[in-house]
Chain A
Amino acid sequence: MRALKFLILSVGCAATLNSYAAQVAVHVEPVNLQGPRPLEDQSKAAVVRDYIRAWQSFDAALGQNRPELLDADFVGTARDKLSDTIQQQAKLGIRSQYQDRSHDLQILFYSPDGMSIELTDKVEYDVQVIDHDKVITTQRETARYLVVLTPAEVRWKVRVFQSVPE
């Protein structure tokens, strides 16, 4: 039953994404939208796929202090804030890696104009802090994220990426 409950993400074309996604358990709760606009299954799948992919970019960008790795999946406030964090890390000689282990997603809001989707994600992840190549700590954390995505040319991009207390 538990195995059924968890959907191992198998969407995406790139081999790297597939191998990455195979390590991450993704469970999507039934949609319970506020708002008048129905969410098509295809849009739902695309949003989940693009959000999970964004975690991969997020991990790589903060782990390597390379803000340009955010560009494909983040936009607006979320991109600006993560980019600022990378600058702070680089200045201090710090890197941080965020390896997601599981996601429990629920789509909350699809704006009437179809230009934004908000979801919540109870995510479990390992965070490792490295100061000048010395591992300071590795911790497993659980947090609830509020995420707003907006459509871009070929995918949904994360515009708000913020954890809130459970």
Chain B
Amino acid sequence: MKSRSSLLLAILAVAAIHLAFAQGERMTLPKVVEAGSAFSIQSVGSGKAELYIIGPGQVLKRDVQLGEMTSFATGSLYNAGHYLAVLAGGSFTETGSFDVLAASKPANLSFLAKPSRLPVGLHDGITGAVYIFDGYHNLIATPTPVSFELSTSSGAMQKHAAVSSNGAAWTAMDSTSEQGADHFVARIGDVSSTRIVAQVPGDPCELTISARQVGEKVQLTTAPVRDCHGNAIPDGTVVTFTESYSGAQSTIDAPLKHGIAEVTMPVRAGATFSVASGVVMGNQIGWNK
């Protein structure tokens, strides 16, 4: 009777061990590991085996003594992703999986800003997108607050707050009314990335000319040409002067020089002088002398 009980217990014990191994209990895996952190894998049993950590981001292989803890030092496994852990002994192979997560602290921002040059005063004219990475260049997928700042040389600043989704955040900002090199910054805590955005004057605004007779000709001169925000239009911008007379027209293109354009045109009785630059029309002057 006693021997039958012992046999039954032995069969149950073997069955229990087999069941445990079938359920994957030859090794205990962490469910998640933070990138670059130390971790360990516990195995059971006795004898030697090989432990593989396999993923697209990294591959590790260790000879292990079953029943002992296999430790992986800080910095051993640093690429985020899904990993297989394979424990291969002489007569068994057991497989499990775990995830390596990006470290929680951002270390690098990939900041795409566009355009690098644009006119002043454009609504949503400047866009920026940022991807957030940890120190191992893993994309940080957890929502993270991002600050976008656009500052002019005079210190005026626009600031937008965003929260990343799946590692990405974006913003759109108005170009300011002030020409110059603006600093466009994406910032998370003490990590930032800066792009320079050149803001140039917009189209001329309120183009006006004056006229005076010089000998047999009339000299036409613009007032200093500025955009609608008061920024000087760059030298070289073409201004077109037109003289209309007796159903005919004569035009001269002149570039801005030191902020103004100047031409001389023949005097014709009853002529009308006008000025334009781009799509902007200026005043007209009738000449009856």
The residues of A with any CB-CB pair to B shorter than 8 Å are: 34-36, 58, 62, 77, 81-82, 84-85, 88-89, 92, 94, 96, 98, 108-109, 111-113, 115-116, 118, 120, 127, 129, 131, 136-137, 139, 141, 143, 146, 148, 160-165
Q: CB distance B80 to A162 under 8 Å?
A: yes
Distance between A161 CB and nearest chain B CB, rounded to angstroms:
7
If A98-B56, A112-B114 touch, whether A160 touches B166 (CB-CB below 8 Å) is no
Which residue of chain B lies nearest to A96 when distances are taken between CB atoms in the complex?
Answer: B54
**Size band of the B side of the interface?**
35 or more
Interface of B, secondary structure class, is strand
Known: A127-B54, A139-B84, A163-B56. 13 other contacts (CB 8 A): A35-B129, A85-B79, A88-B58, A108-B166, A109-B168, A109-B170, A113-B113, A131-B88, A136-B52, A136-B93, A141-B97, A148-B167, A162-B80
- Also in contact, A113 and B82, with CB within 8 A (given A85-B56, A129-B52, A136-B88): no
On B, residues with C-beta under 8 Å from A are: 32, 50, 52, 54-61, 79-82, 84, 86, 88, 93, 95, 97, 99, 101-102, 112-114, 124, 127-129, 131, 133, 137-139, 141, 165-168, 170, 172
Who on chain A is nearest to B130 by CB? A111
Tell whether A111 pairs with B112 under 8 Å between CB atoms, given A146-B167, A160-B139.
yes
| Nearest chain A residue, comparing its CB with the CB of B80 | A162
Alpha-carbon distance A165/B50, docked complex (angstroms): 26
B79, B88, B93, B167: which contacts A81 (Cβ < 8 A)? B79
Expressed in whole angstroms, the minimum distance between the Cβ of B217 and any Cβ of chain A is: 51
Residues in B neighbouring A112, C-beta threshold 8 A: 114, 127-129, 170, 172
Q: Is the CB of A34 within 8 A of B170?
A: yes
